[in-house]
Structure 1
Amino acid sequence: MGNVSEKVEAASVPQIKDQSAAEPPKKLKPCCACPETKKVRDQCIIERGEEYCGDLIEAHKKCMRDLGFNI
């Protein structure tokens, strides 16, 4: 019969799993991507109208493309 204290110590040590290898990375949803450019773009469209916010719209599209979205 083995030493009881060794069994207790081994049982109390938590097993650490590498979660990055076990779980696939979560995909970023388009609604959550580029919140900085999205907020500014939306505010401009609300206040001034879409025709006056082309540069902000394009900046948001670029941000989305840079993250891999097909915009």
Structure 2
Amino acid sequence: MPDAKEVVENGQPEEKPKLKPCCACPETKKARDACIMENGEEKCGDLIEAHKQCMRDMGFNI
């Protein structure tokens, strides 16, 4: 059995995240955090969503 894969209920392998959530997507995380600090969370929805999508693309269940 490959060590980076896990079989899920439907029988398809699922990639496990290789990074910790704190270390994934540093570019989008930095932009999101800076926007929130300067403008408040309510004005940074696009950057928040971009970071969430990056995390999903990296294999995290966000």
Fold in common (TM above 0.5): yes
Structure 2 Cα separation of the partners of residues 28 and 54 of structure 1:
24
Indicate the SS of the match to 2:50: helix
Uncovered stretches (5+) of structure 2, i.e. residues with no partner = 5-17
Partner of 1:32: 23
Structure with larger RCO (C-alpha < 8 A, sep 6+)? 2
Q: How many residue pairs align between the two structures?
A: 47
Structure 1 Cα separation of the partners of residues 23 and 42 of structure 2:
24
Rg comparison, structure with higher value: 1
Per-residue deviation at 1:48? Answer: 0.2
- Sequence identity (%): 81
- 1:1-71 alignment runs, 5 A limit: 27-71=18-62
